[in-house]
Amino acid sequence: MSEDRVYNVLIVGVGGQGIILASDVLGKVAARHGYDVKKNEIHGMAQRGGSVSSHVRFGKTVSSPIIKMGEADVLLSFEQIETLRYFPFLSVDGNVIVNDQKILPPAVFTGKQEYPPDVLERIREKVPNAVVVDGIHVAENLGNPRVVNVIFLGILSKYLDIPASTYEEVLKESLKPKLVDINLKAFHEGRALAAS
Amino acid sequence: MPSQNDSDVRFLMGNEAIGRGIIQAGCGVAAAYPGTPSSEVLQSLVRWKKELDHSIYLEWSINEKVAFEVAYGASLAGMRSVAVMKMVGLNVASDPFMSAAYLGVRGGLVVVVADDPGPHSSQTEQDSRFFSWFAKVPVLDPGTPAEALEMAVRAFEISEKYQVPVLLRPCLRVCHARQNVTLSKPAPIANVGPFEKNWTRWAAIPRFRLVLHGELNEKIEKMRLEEPESKPVPILNGSGNSIALVTSGSVSSHVRDVVASDDRLKDIDVFKVGMPFPSQADALQQIVDSHEKTLVIEETYPVLELQIMDRRKVEGRLSGAVPPQGELVPETVEDIILKSLGETPTEREAPKIKSRRPSLCAGCPHRPAFYMIKSIFDEAVYSGDIGCYTLGINMGAVDTCLCMGSSIGMAGGLARTPTASNGTQVVATIGDSTFFHSGVAALINAVHTGAPFVLVIMDNSVTAMTGGQPTPGNPYLADGSGGKPIDMERLIQGCGVDFLEVVDPYDHDAMKDALEHAKKHVFEDRNGVAVVITRRACIRAPNAEIPSQRFRIGDDCDLCMTCVKDLECPAIHYVKGERRMEIDEDLCAGCGFCVSICPSRAIELKGA
């Protein structure tokens, strides 16, 4: 990897899925590793069940906090259909990590429209090696359904060039003390899943 | 919390960095009204004040005009002070803002105005740099959170040096960006000495205003020549004579990365202007004259472009090279530059994924209020307002949304038309914070003129959309210290309203009664405005009461969809294949309103 390389990580999902925390931890990790980091997040109206995205960019010199379309190295999506929405941001050789969860948009509540049944197929058609993990299932097995975001942070960490210990340090500083152990466990579970 | 020393580095949001800059500059008074993307500035000041045990005075003002006036008053009394708002807030504060430019300031006065190109969370894409030009007030335009901190400090210095207010204009992509920012020790709170009486200045009559206007013009010309931020500064060096690119603010960051990462663009000289008004027009002209072509990329109006006198070799918004609306994101910037160079822009496919519309939270007290308004006033014109409750659109219970507080003023007009005389009823809805912000004057107007409409004030005790900031109805202030709560009922009665009822929006029957009484008062008995307050704390508010009860949908359900279509509850959905409805227990907030409105009485309490 060249010294001038810029890493672009796009984290997407629906309001309330812990995207801001995950992206914040990643940003701090990259900054602690010595990278110039710029990060962007969405606040306001979108948080009321809307589509949420967070861009994290790091490298030797980075000015803009948003990823240009077609340049995301990793697209981490916490919701199936949100993956498709942000596909145009993915670079030609970009990686995709998907939480196997469907959050129904309002038009689907009434049964008038259907949630597309073939989203995972469409993802794999474009990115054959896309990693799909049922995060809620893994989190429930760990004993806390709220650690889905950190499980995926663990998976994501395997695609980046920063040691796990840096993530551990930042997680310890960013979380309430009583939540540290379960989240460290979730992070390492994610890393193990990525390796398997 | 890391120790507070000279080399302290933190990973900060742009708004937190601006808050830090305000503290470091020795500012003593900060007043704000919340609004995306500006809200975190004052919130961060609350935290900096606590962390540093600092004595800065902070307030969430009732609206932006008052916030500006509080800051201005403190400035005349010698303090460095700041008012913080979003760009449409500057419209509200424009009267004192314009006048303050003439009168000038004493202690440094900075107005932080956050712009929202896109727009992502606003009514307009207005460019506050243009507003500053209109007011003849200098404006600093940061490109990153770190620069925003430095510029916040510089803004106070320039303000005090020239005795004019200074506008600091971060865009959303600076406000909500994060990066490592180096902190310095805060300066002691600055004070240039107590208020000095001088009516020819501080209470100037028109004759003296003419003199002051002349002085303001001189100040602007002086800072245009003397302040380093007015000059275009090279940030990337190309070949030196073919193509120049002039930029400013948040879009300058995208421009830098796009140009630096593309070999086809290596001949471009990129210049950035920190203070787009007043900018050094001569220096800009020199750039234009010494290059074959100059591209101007700025957000969102052609402020720098218009200051270039001879634009024959200039491409920008005026030439059509830059789109006249919409945010300039990196791919847009790349397209603009490549097209200007005669290169083929990158082809991009955008899959058509339907947008995921935001909706009121499950358990939101606004939902039952809108549902009942719709059911009691089924053919009414619904005059809506700005806040979470604009999402009443989803329920068909909001027909208009103009600006803060306009629901009440507009209802007064909607109710004066022939259609209204022929029986079309008008119902206005407004939240508590918006009512305090700018609804009260319109209510007095409606009462005085006998305007026939029903007003529903949805009191959820916080400014919810922007993150739950306190309203004047709360017994506490921005920093948590005690404040005198304003009694909304007394206020409304003081406005002369004859009909006032207060109900819990979770209580179906009480709501039905109150709204029917209001309907009779206005539309049958032909009285003036009736007010119903629906009062229950936002489920995200600190004083929220969330019932622990949960519900199930029984066999009597005939799939009429009232609960998902009309009530629009996000906790209920149709299970395809099984032909049944289901309640998501994690999402459900236990309000139980669905039980009251289910036509087939199929929803029942769990465990009952």
What DSSP string describes B418-470? HHHHTT--EEEEEEHHHIIIIIHHHHHHHHHHT---EEEEEE-SEETTTT-EE
B174-228 confidence digits (pLDDT tens): 999 999 999 999 999 989 999 999 999 999 999 999 999 999 999 999 999 999 9
Q: Is B350 domain-assigned?
A: no
- Contact between B569 and B606 under an 8 Å Cβ cutoff? The reply is no
Task: Please indicate whether, in this complex, the C-beta atoms of A63 and B257 are within 8 angstroms of each other.
Answer: yes
- Nearest by CB to residue B358, choosing from A50, A109, A111, is A50
Query: Do both B555 and B516 map to the same domain?
Result: no
Task: Please indicate whether, in this complex, the C-beta atoms of B36 and A6 are within 8 angstroms of each other.
Answer: no
Taking the C-alpha atoms of residue A34 and residue A37, their distance in angstroms, rounded to an integer, is 9
- How many domains is chain B built from? 4
Q: What percent of chain A has pLDDT over 90?
A: 79
- The CATH number of the domain where B285 resides is what? 3.40.50.920
Taking the C-alpha atoms of residue B230 and residue B257, their distance in angstroms, rounded to an integer, is 23
Q: Band the pLDDT of B593: cuts 50, 70, 90.
A: very high
Is residue A108 pLDDT above 90, yes or no?
Answer: no
pLDDT at A42: 78
**Nearest residue on chain B to A58, alpha-carbon basis:** B179
Task: Please indicate whether, in this complex, the C-beta atoms of B253 and A51 are within 8 angstroms of each other.
Answer: no
- Nearest by CB to residue A109, choosing from B346, B360, B574, is B574
B261 interaction partners in chain A (CB closer than 8 Å): 6
The Cα of A169 is separated from the nearest Cα of chain B by a number of Å equal to 14
Q: Is B353 domain-assigned?
A: no
- Nearest by CB to residue A65, choosing from B173, B358, B572, is B173
Q: What percent of chain B has pLDDT over 70?
A: 99
Query: Do both B42 and B114 map to the same domain?
Result: yes
pLDDT at A77: 97
Query: Do both B193 and B293 map to the same domain?
Result: no
Q: Band the pLDDT of B241: cuts 50, 70, 90.
A: confident
B273-284 confidence digits (pLDDT tens): 999 999 999 999
Exposure string of B18-43, with b = 16+ CB inside 10 Å and e = fewer, is bbbbbbbbbbbbbbbbbbbbbbbbbb
A129-164 confidence digits (pLDDT tens): 999 999 999 999 999 989 999 999 999 999 999 999
Taking the C-alpha atoms of residue B513 and residue B177, their distance in angstroms, rounded to an integer, is 48
Task: Please indicate whether, in this complex, the C-beta atoms of A42 and B178 are within 8 angstroms of each other.
Answer: no
Q: Is B103 domain-assigned?
A: yes
Structure tokens at B342: 């005669």
Query: Do both B23 and B122 map to the same domain?
Result: yes
Q: Does A84 touch chain B (CB under 8 A)?
A: yes
Longest dimension (CA), chain B: 82
B143 interaction partners in chain A (CB closer than 8 Å): 63
Query: Do both B128 and B13 map to the same domain?
Result: yes
A69 interaction partners in chain B (CB closer than 8 Å): 330-331, 348
- pTM for this model (two decimals): 0.96
The residue among B198, B226, B254 that closes a domain is B226
Q: Which of residues 111 through 150 in chain A touch B, CB cutoff 8 A?
A: 111, 114
Q: Is B541 domain-assigned?
A: no
B19-36 confidence digits (pLDDT tens): 999 999 999 999 999 999
Beta strand pairing status for A7-14 and A51-59?
Answer: antiparallel
Beta strand pairing status for A36-41 and B177-182?
Answer: antiparallel
Q: Number of Cβ pairs closer than 8 Å across A and B? A: 147
Q: What is the mean pLDDT of the segment spanning B567-596?
A: 92
A110 interaction partners in chain B (CB closer than 8 Å): 561, 564-565, 574
Give the C-alpha distances (Å, rounded to integers) separating B369 from A182, B532, B534: 40, 10, 7
Query: Do both B520 and B418 map to the same domain?
Result: yes
Taking the C-alpha atoms of residue B247 and residue A192, their distance in angstroms, rounded to an integer, is 46
The structural domains of chain A, with segments of one domain joined by +, span 7-133+156-169
Is residue B420 pLDDT above 80, yes or no?
Answer: no
The residue among B340, B375, B403 that closes a domain is B340
Q: Which of B5-9, B177-181, B574-578 has the lowest mean pLDDT?
A: B5-9
Interface probe, candidates A32, A63, A89, chain B, greatest B C-beta count within 10 A? A63
CB contact set of A125 (below 8 Å; sequence gap of 6+):
none
The Cα of B539 is separated from the nearest Cα of chain A by a number of Å equal to 12
- Contact between B82 and B18 under an 8 Å Cβ cutoff? The reply is no
pLDDT at A46: 59
Beta strand pairing status for B462-463 and B469-470?
Answer: antiparallel
Exposure string of B579-604, with b = 16+ CB inside 10 Å and e = fewer, is eebebeeebbbbbbbbbbbbeeebbe
Q: Is B501 domain-assigned?
A: yes
pLDDT at B608: 67
Q: Is B452 domain-assigned?
A: yes
B91: left (phi over 0), alpha (psi -120 to 50) or beta: alpha
B123 interaction partners in chain A (CB closer than 8 Å): none
CB contact set of B171 (below 8 Å; sequence gap of 6+):
B37, B114, B115, B116, B117, B249, B250, B251, B299
Among candidate residues A190, A3, A8, the one with its CA nearest the CA of residue A95: A8
Structure tokens at B582: 């289901």
A66 interaction partners in chain B (CB closer than 8 Å): 173, 254, 329-330
B297-351 confidence digits (pLDDT tens): 999 999 999 999 999 999 999 999 999 999 999 999 999 999 999 999 988 877 6
CA atoms within 13 A on the CB side of B182: 4
Helices (H), A12-134: 19-32, 80-85, 106-109, 119-126
Query: Do both B513 and B527 map to the same domain?
Result: yes
- Whether the upstream peptide bond of residue B182 has omega within 30° of 0, thus cis, is no
- Nearest by CB to residue B180, choosing from A31, A63, A109, is A31
Is residue B1 pLDDT above 50, yes or no?
Answer: no
**Nearest residue on chain B to A79, alpha-carbon basis:** B356
Q: What percent of chain A has pLDDT over 70?
A: 92
Q: Band the pLDDT of B82: cuts 50, 70, 90.
A: very high
Q: What is the mean pLDDT of the segment spanning B371-387?
A: 96
- Nearest by CB to residue A66, choosing from B173, B572, B574, is B173
Question: Residue B489 belongs to what domain range?
Answer: 366-535
A31 interaction partners in chain B (CB closer than 8 Å): 11, 179-180
- The CATH number of the domain where B421 resides is what? 3.40.50.970
Interface probe, candidates B174, B327, B356, B572, chain A, greatest A C-beta count within 10 A? B356
pLDDT at A2: 41
Mean pLDDT, chain B, whole residue set:
95
**Nearest residue on chain A to B2, alpha-carbon basis:** A173
Please return the burial class of B217, using the count of CB atoms within 10 Å of its CB with bins 0-12, 13-18 and 19+. exposed
pLDDT at A47: 62
The Cα of A155 is separated from the nearest Cα of chain B by a number of Å equal to 23
Q: Band the pLDDT of A15: cuts 50, 70, 90.
A: confident
Backbone phi and psi for residue A119, each to the nearest 5 degrees, phi listed first: -60, -45
Q: What is the mean pLDDT of the segment spanning B565-581?
A: 91
Bridge partner list, A12: A53, A77
Task: Please indicate whether, in this complex, the C-beta atoms of A50 and B176 are within 8 angstroms of each other.
Answer: no
Query: Do both B150 and B178 map to the same domain?
Result: yes
The residue among B325, B340, B355 that closes a domain is B340
Q: Which of A167-171, B436-440, B568-572 has the lowest mean pLDDT?
A: B568-572
Query: Do both B219 and B235 map to the same domain?
Result: no
Q: Which residue has the higher pLDDT, B499 or B424?
A: B499
**Nearest residue on chain A to B566, alpha-carbon basis:** A110
Helices (H), B104-205: 128-135, 145-162, 172-175, 199-202
Number of helices (H) and strands (E), helices first, in chain B? 22, 24
Taking the C-alpha atoms of residue A101 and residue B587, their distance in angstroms, rounded to an integer, is 15
- Nearest by CB to residue A38, choosing from B179, B356, B388, is B179
Bridge partner list, A18: none
Measure the CA dihedral A178/A179/A180/A182, to 10°: 120
- Nearest by CB to residue B177, choosing from A39, A46, A105, is A39
Task: Please indicate whether, in this complex, the C-beta atoms of B394 and A44 are within 8 angstroms of each other.
Answer: no
- Contact between A15 and A48 under an 8 Å Cβ cutoff? The reply is yes
Q: Does A42 touch chain B (CB under 8 A)?
A: yes
Q: Which residue has the higher pLDDT, A20 or B99?
A: B99
Query: Do both B243 and B215 map to the same domain?
Result: no
Q: What is the mean pLDDT of the segment spanning B236-246?
A: 91
The Cα of B338 is separated from the nearest Cα of chain A by a number of Å equal to 14
Task: Please indicate whether, in this complex, the C-beta atoms of B570 and A108 are within 8 angstroms of each other.
Answer: no
Q: What is the mean pLDDT of the segment spanning B373-398?
A: 95
Which listed CATH number (1.10.286.10, 3.20.20.70, 3.40.920.10, 3.40.50.300) goes with A7-133+156-169? 3.40.920.10
Amino acid at B100: A
Taking the C-alpha atoms of residue B600 and residue B560, their distance in angstroms, rounded to an integer, is 9
Q: Does A155 touch chain B (CB under 8 A)?
A: no
CB contact set of B263 (below 8 Å; sequence gap of 6+):
none
Is residue B2 pLDDT above 50, yes or no?
Answer: no
Query: Do both B436 and B575 map to the same domain?
Result: no
Q: Band the pLDDT of A44: cuts 50, 70, 90.
A: low
Q: Is B476 domain-assigned?
A: yes
Q: Is B346 domain-assigned?
A: no
Beta strand pairing status for B580-583 and B572-575?
Answer: antiparallel
Query: Do both B81 and B185 map to the same domain?
Result: yes
Taking the C-alpha atoms of residue B132 and residue B98, their distance in angstroms, rounded to an integer, is 9
Task: Please indicate whether, in this complex, the C-beta atoms of A109 and B11 are within 8 angstroms of each other.
Answer: no
pLDDT at A45: 59
Tokens 């419209």 locate to B91
